[in-house]
Amino acid sequence: MTGLYIHIPFCKQKCNYCDFASFAGKENLIDNYLDALSQETASVQRKSFDTLYVGGGTPSLLTCAQLEKLGALIAKNFSCVSSFTESTFEANPESLTKEKISLLRAAGFNRFSVGLQSFNDDELKMLGRVHTSADFLRTWENLRACGVQNINVDLIAGLPGQTLEKFLHSLEKLVTLAPEHISVYGLQIEEGTPFFARGIVCDQLLMRKMLEETRTRLKNAGYHHYEISNFALPGFESKHNLNYWRYGEYVGLGSAAASFVGGARRQNIPDIHAYVCRINAQQSAIGFSERLDGKALEGEKLMVGLRQLDGVEITPLQKEFFEKDIEKHIQHGLLVRDGKKVKLSEEGLFLANEVFYSFVAPFESV
């Protein structure tokens, strides 16, 4: 399976927790960016992909005319959006109008991922989100009215000042809507974000309680917990993201977009203006590239694969490189054996980074 990712780096407002390659107040660059994106798209040698994901940023910030332009460049250089097995469009509630949904549906998008984060308006304001809970519910109704039957909704646990009761209010209200897919992320305070600058520290114990309750309640509601942060009704697991976790190939287009093809990884420069200038000058937009091999390659495969709750089957080469690390984590109760596979334990789900560090260079001497 191969995936195609297209990055739309524009936002109405930068959220207080966000460290992604996204920029507010640059809507005047969107048309030039799409022109550059079309040129980069035309240079891609591979023309057939299984999945498509348009992410950001806030892709739904684009106008209807700009969305038509985006759909046209995809169809011109690859095939129509409807030809992808799964085609996901990422959106925020305040900018995904019914007209845009109808346009995207007509273009062939069959999956939408909506950033809710919380049903509590005071929490949304604290996060720096532009939308309200009412905006989300209106968007939800419009998606269903337009026949969308594959929707992911994002929630964040462990917000500053958030109580368990307020988090569970959001979770339970979302469960009553029964989206096909739910992503629940524990808040991470990243350097360079407003939250980091304000010295905000998460209550890890409370966050863990929220995530434990999430697992229990979503399981009882019929959701399959298939990746650390992701839950799906049967058959609605994200094919595009599963390809990442199974170490499949993918091509990323646009500023900051990453690709993994033929064992080599590369990433475009994040700055929008620099990206457009390079493409217009017929220069490469790649800002970073590397090819992993040996222990580094096998370690990354393990780290990515272990995000799946089903775990991974350890290859002879991985056993040669990491047997002592794997046994250490089994002894500490963070990994468990399941037949031929190794997977995160219940405890390991909440301490996954302690496991993953063992598989990332520089490696500890043993």
User: What's the pLDDT tens digit per position in 57-66?
Assistant: 999 999 999 9
Q: Write down the pLDDT at residue 96.
A: 98
Strand order in the sheet with 335-338: 312-313, 341-344, 335-338
Has residue 78 got a pLDDT over 70?
A: yes
* Mean pLDDT calculated for residue range 306-333: 96
Residue 344 is encoded by which pair of tokens? 């995160």
**pLDDT grade, residue 263 (50/70/90)?**
confident
What is the CB-side half-sphere exposure of residue 254 using CA atoms within 13 A?
25
Percent of the chain with pLDDT over 90: 94
CATH number, domain 294-359: 1.10.10
**pLDDT grade, residue 365 (50/70/90)?**
low
**pLDDT grade, residue 340 (50/70/90)?**
confident
Percent of the chain with pLDDT over 70: 99
Has residue 183 got a pLDDT over 70?
A: yes
Whether the full predicted model's pTM is greater than 0.85, yes or no, is yes
Identical topology for domains 2-244 and 294-359: no
Conformation bin of residue 192: beta by default, left when phi > 0, alpha when psi is -120 to 50: left
For the chain, domain boundaries:
2-244, 294-359
Has residue 366 got a pLDDT over 70?
A: no
Residue 78 is encoded by which pair of tokens? 């690859």
Residue 12 is encoded by which pair of tokens? 């109405």
Has residue 182 got a pLDDT over 90?
A: yes
CATH number, domain 2-244: 3.20.20.70
List pLDDT tens digits, range 282-318.
Answer: 999 999 999 999 999 999 999 999 999 999 999 999 9
